[in-house]
Amino acid sequence: MIFELGEYRARLSRCRKVMAEKGIEVLIESDPCNMNYLTGYDSWSFQYAQAVIVTLEDEDPLWIGRGVDLAGVRLTTFLPESKVAAWPDHLVDNAVNHPMEFFAEQLSARGLGRKAIGIDRDCYFFTPRSRDVLQAGLPNARFADAGRLVSWLRLVKSDAEIKIMSEAARLTERIMAAFFEVVRPGLRECDAIAEIYKAQVAGTPEFGGGYCCVAPLMPVGEGTSTPHMTWSDRKFVKGEAAYLETAGVRHRYHVPMVRALHLGTPPQRLVDTSKAVIEGIERALEVARPGNTCEQVEAAWRKAISRYSIEKESRIGYSIGLGYPPDWGEHTASLRPRDRTVLQENMTLHMVCGIWNQDWGGVSLSEPFRITAGGAVLFAKVPRDLHVKT
Amino acid sequence: MIFELGEYRARLSRCRKVMAEKGIEVLIESDPCNMNYLTGYDSWSFQYAQAVIVTLEDEDPLWIGRGVDLAGVRLTTFLPESKVAAWPDHLVDNAVNHPMEFFAEQLSARGLGRKAIGIDRDCYFFTPRSRDVLQAGLPNARFADAGRLVSWLRLVKSDAEIKIMSEAARLTERIMAAFFEVVRPGLRECDAIAEIYKAQVAGTPEFGGGYCCVAPLMPVGEGTSTPHMTWSDRKFVKGEAAYLETAGVRHRYHVPMVRALHLGTPPQRLVDTSKAVIEGIERALEVARPGNTCEQVEAAWRKAISRYSIEKESRIGYSIGLGYPPDWGEHTASLRPRDRTVLQENMTLHMVCGIWNQDWGGVSLSEPFRITAGGAVLFAKVPRDLHVKT
């Protein structure tokens, strides 16, 4: 286990408190980040129905998943055998029967079939069919939308979590150093990515890195007009821009970053836009301190870039921490208008300022940081300027 | 685009044919593999609501997604601007409003608000909330479960797809060569993974590899009792086993493989179990030919290993092709009892034979292959034996 048992117990205690406030007696949590947060469970097993189930009465939650993953529960969690159950394998990819039939049987057998059951309707790995089958199997339960209850519990990090993220940031620095170092005209994009992966997982002599929950995103040339392209095996050419978005990862905690480079003398509009973005980031970071709100941070950015006649519709950041596919965002607080989440010490965010969808491409730069009493403190030290390789 | 326009048109035509048979007038498809299959769309954007929408009347489907991803549609698909629409960014991670409100407005505006609408209830990236909001926004539509309609269309590959998978297999061979080469006592697991990633993406001098939709799975020592663990930064020690499960990837097509090694003289039970697994794979592959069923293939395996008093509950394989997170299985045909899918030429499968959850650990070996008139043909040539490093 990555944290002391007491830290997991405290998380579960906070979870039960919010459940009670919301009138939820049983919480079914299938988000792999949230399952990890509550129990330590860590396995690439979210492609089939699994959940951690928290009740108001019991100290230990229940894990239900696929049989082949049972040993993963033993190896990564503190759960006793009595709180672990596995559905039979013929339910994999079965058009007629579904693992949630087993979940319903287990909940009934454990006296939870008539409770108020909360589910997160936005969880990627709890499908509409999962809900249909579970509800059909528990006709006497009352179902409620739990919202992103556990995700919100993750917003403020413990000191132990901050320490792990600080280690992840050492990997982030190495990744960006590799990006700046290796990209050159004539190199294939895939060969650059090989070096980036190496920096990401080989890590430092003291510790290695885990897998990033998003493949390295590296828009190049005309691809810079959109943020979510990966790479090809074409060669870099002089006169084009590239940016890299990926994360250093330690014990599933992600510290993501975006940096941009240009091969050869950059066009003036790219230089100007980069300058505006950097100024916007600086102004926004100054406002990112305890007591201010997420929307105040974004407003400082917006004001700064408006002087350069740049507009940006999309948000400029979000809370970060644990990550499993498909993304490292916590899906809670966002840096954007109308988000009045009040910043507190030990919140951790990724401010990502991309200007995309321009006819000439775009530019993206970001900073992962944490909130301290004294203001925003960057996780990683990587020069923020457009990196020009002439 | 990876394939000629005619290949996409033929796929869409087959899709409409099955829709008509099932009484579905409008199909909402959010599985990133299926979106790619129908249109070529390729972007790491499935973490927010997006779909390709196929109607019986229109030749071109409609793409709806997030605004920042619009340029990705232009760069990877053949869709005209009139068939592309993007929801505004304030709907990201919004607890009150949801992108499916925009989907409902678009469908209504395009005259589709009173149709029979099919959705795949098992799709990871179409959440229960997505369905709730879409249904609320289209009160006059009739909703039906489309099952895995498009996934089933992918079962038999075209010759162009087989060619790409054969290229991916060259990467699979390089990955496994790296695994056998680098793992040794004293090396950190993360350093081995760095070399594996390098082989995966740097590829051959002729072409590179894409990202694998699953992180490399490398159970080591006691971790070999379960298949879905990744890696740590501890060092390999003499006397332990490791196996690697990952894939060569080309244009999102995956050719996965599992191989096992042991550092030092292996214990007899590992040798014996590996021998039984290999014999089981050989017997099963002999039966994998056109006209036979999936369950007949599994029965040949089961008969072979029963002579060694080994039992295995979980299935021994599944159909493969395109892959996006969280896995590379097509979620259609499975090699297991009661799956009577009849094998045809150009079906492509991953036979994966893991014996897990043993008190001493386990072993796993696999073969990706395609069905030809003459029987099963392996995609990759990698020695199947337990690789012993003394």
Q: Which amino acid is at A96?
A: V
Span B251-262, pLDDT tens digits? 999 999 999 999
Per-residue pLDDT, B26: 98
Asked if B93 lies within 8 A of A189 by C-beta distance, the reply is: no
Mean pLDDT confidence for A23-40: 98
If 0-12 CB within 10 Å is exposed, 13-18 middle and 19+ buried, where does residue A105 land?
middle
Q: Is the pLDDT of residue B290 over 90?
A: yes
Interchain contact A6–B (C-beta under 8 A): no
Asked if B46 lies within 8 A of A326 by C-beta distance, the reply is: yes
Residue B55: both structure tokens together? 């109607």
Chain A residues inside the 8 Å CB shell of B232: 208
Q: Is the pLDDT of residue A222 over 90?
A: no
Contacts of A57 (CB under 8 A, 6+ apart): none
Q: Is the pLDDT of residue B39 over 80?
A: yes
d(CA B186, CA A53): 40
Q: Is the pLDDT of residue A117 over 80?
A: yes
Q: Which of A75, A201, A313 sits opposite B67 (nearest CB)?
A: A313
Q: Which amino acid is at A263?
A: L
Cα–chain center distance at B226: 20
Per-residue pLDDT, B376: 98
Residues 252-311 of A with CB under 8 A from B: none
Q: Which of A30, A127, A134, A218 to mutate to test the interface with B (most CBs of B within 10 A)?
A: A127
Query: In angstroms, what separates the C-alpha of A278 from chain B's closest C-alpha?
Result: 20
Q: Beta-carbon neighbour count of residue A97 at 10 Å?
A: 13
Interchain contact A326–B (C-beta under 8 A): yes
Query: Cα separations (Å) of A16 from A50, B130, B211?
Result: 20, 27, 39
**DSSP letters along B48-73, please?**
S--EEEEESS-SS-EEEEEGGGHHHH
- Specify the DSSP element, H or E, that contains A258: strand A253-263
Query: In angstroms, what separates the C-alpha of B280 from chain A's closest C-alpha?
Result: 19
Contact A90, B338 (CB under 8 A): yes
Sheet strands side by side (includes B142-145) = B84-87, B62-66, B51-55, B26-29, B116-119, B142-145
Span B80-112, pLDDT tens digits? 999 999 999 999 999 999 999 999 999 999 999
Pairing of strands B51-55, B62-66: antiparallel
Q: Is the pLDDT of residue B188 over 80?
A: yes
Per-residue pLDDT, B240: 95
Q: Beta-carbon neighbour count of residue B178 at 10 Å?
A: 20
Asked if A127 lies within 8 A of B129 by C-beta distance, the reply is: no
Cα–chain center distance at B56: 27
Q: Is the pLDDT of residue A184 over 90?
A: yes
Q: Which of B89, B95, B124 sits opposite A313 (nearest CB)?
A: B89
Chain A residues inside the 8 Å CB shell of B91: none
Residues in chain B: 390
Chain A residues inside the 8 Å CB shell of B131: 128
Pairing of strands A62-66, A84-87: parallel
**DSSP letters along B297-351, please?**
HHHHHHHHHHTTT----S--EEEEEEEETTEEEEEEEESSTT--PBP-TTBEEEE
Helix (H, G, I), strand (E, B) or coil at A77: coil
Q: Which of B72, B126, B201 sits opposite A197 (nearest CB)?
A: B201
- On whether the pTM is more than 0.90, the answer is yes
Chain A residues inside the 8 Å CB shell of B315: 89-90, 92
Per-residue pLDDT, A267: 94
User: In the 8-state DSSP scheme, what is residue B193?
Assistant: H
Q: Which of B31, B127, B254, B357 to mutate to test the interface with A (most CBs of A within 10 A)?
A: B127
Using pLDDT thresholds of 50, 70 and 90, give the confidence band for residue B321: very high
Q: What are the φ/ψ torsions at residue B267 (nearest 5 degrees)?
A: -65, 155
Interchain contact A204–B (C-beta under 8 A): no
Per-residue pLDDT, B231: 95
Per-residue pLDDT, A100: 98
Provide the greatest CA pair distance for chain A. Answer: 69
Tell me what the pLDDT averaged over chain A comes to.
96
Contact A73, A63 (CB under 8 A): yes
Contacts of B189 (CB under 8 A, 6+ apart): A208, B218, B220, B231, B232, B233, B234, B235, B236
Q: Choose the weakest-confidence range: A244-253, A314-323, A330-339, B310-319.
A: B310-319
Mean pLDDT confidence for A192-221: 96
Per-residue pLDDT, A140: 98
Per-residue pLDDT, A164: 98
Interchain contact A51–B (C-beta under 8 A): no
The residue among B314 and B255 whose pLDDT is bigger is B255
Query: In angstroms, what separates the C-alpha of B268 from chain A's closest C-alpha?
Result: 22
Residues 99-128 of B with CB under 8 A from A: 119, 121-128
- Specify the DSSP element, H or E, that contains A13: helix A5-22
Residues 333-372 of A with CB under 8 A from B: 334, 336-338, 354, 356-357
Q: Is the pLDDT of residue A223 over 90?
A: no
Using pLDDT thresholds of 50, 70 and 90, give the confidence band for residue A312: confident
Q: Which residues of A58-74 are buried (b: 16+ CB within 10 A; e: fewer)?
A: eebbbbbbbbbbbbbbe
Chain A residues inside the 8 Å CB shell of B189: 208
Q: Which amino acid is at A122?
A: D
Q: Choose the weakest-confidence range: A27-31, A41-45, A355-359, A371-375.
A: A355-359
Q: Is the pLDDT of residue A358 over 80?
A: no
Using CA coordinates, name the residue in chain B closest to A72: B226
Using pLDDT thresholds of 50, 70 and 90, give the confidence band for residue B197: very high
Q: Which residues of A322-345 are buried (b: 16+ CB within 10 A; e: fewer)?
A: bbbbbbbbbbbbbbbeebebebee
Query: Cα separations (Å) of A359 from A315, A356, A362, B1?
Result: 21, 9, 8, 21
Q: Is the pLDDT of residue B357 over 80?
A: no
Q: Which of A147, A198, A332 sits opposite B194 (nearest CB)?
A: A198
Query: Cα separations (Å) of B373 from B210, B288, B370?
Result: 30, 10, 10
Please report the number of interchain residue pairs, chain A to chain B, with beta-carbon separation below 8 angstroms. Answer: 225
Q: Where are the alpha helices (DSSP H) in chain B?
A: 5-22, 32-39, 70-76, 99-109, 128-137, 149-153, 159-182, 189-202, 268-287, 294-306
Interchain contact A185–B (C-beta under 8 A): no
Using pLDDT thresholds of 50, 70 and 90, give the confidence band for residue B359: confident
Tell me what the pLDDT averaged over chain B comes to.
96
Q: Which of B33, B77, B93 to mutate to test the interface with A (most CBs of A within 10 A)?
A: B93
Per-residue pLDDT, B310: 86
Query: Cα separations (Å) of B170 from A20, B174, B201, B209?
Result: 55, 7, 12, 10
Interchain contact B193–A (C-beta under 8 A): yes
Closest CA relative to residue A309, chosen from A358, A348, A376, A364: A358
d(CA A70, CA A81): 10
SS3 content of chain A, % helix, strand, coil (to 5): 35, 25, 35
Per-residue pLDDT, A388: 97
d(CA A195, CA B123): 34
Q: Is the pLDDT of residue A28 over 80?
A: yes
d(CA A331, CA A329): 5
Asked if B72 lies within 8 A of A45 by C-beta distance, the reply is: no
Residue A81: both structure tokens together? 């055998």
Q: Which of A67, A95, A190 sits opposite B313 (nearest CB)?
A: A67
Q: What are the φ/ψ torsions at residue A206 (nearest 5 degrees)?
A: -85, -35
Q: Which of B47, B133, B170 to mutate to test the interface with A (most CBs of A within 10 A)?
A: B47
